[in-house]
Amino acid sequence: MREFDDEVLECFLENQLQLFPEQVAETLEEAEDFLEECMAVVVNSADEVAEYFEEEGIDLEGAVGDEILSADEVFDIGDGRYLIVEG
């Protein structure tokens, strides 16, 4: 089973410029390769986004709740899941 389904890949393709100054992928396959290479993760809730940042030791500068979800590294897939890409 692929770690990144089409919804995740399409979300990244559509929103990649929120994190990167220029496109890093143009196709679903390129997006999947890129996300695997940078060890992106998909989590199932906003709480899991916060837990991920905490576990990784990433300083959120006091961000809470929705502020965490507005981080450039966080992509809202639209179905309750979030993609986290460390640029």
pLDDT above 90 as % of the chain: 74
**Looking at residue 46, what DSSP letter applies?**
H
Please give the structure tokens belonging to residue 33.
């390769």
Residue 1 lies in a domain: no
pLDDT at 63: 74
pTM, entire model: 0.90
In single-letter form, the type of residue at position 82 comes to Y
User: How many independent structural domains does the chain possess?
Assistant: 1
Determine the structural domain holding residue 55 and report its residue range: 6-84
pLDDT tops 80 at residue 40? yes
pLDDT above 70 as % of the chain: 94
Residue 41, SS3 per DSSP: strand
Residue 13 lies in a domain: yes
pLDDT band at 1 (very low <50, low <70, confident <90, very high): very low
Residue with tokens 């993760």: 41
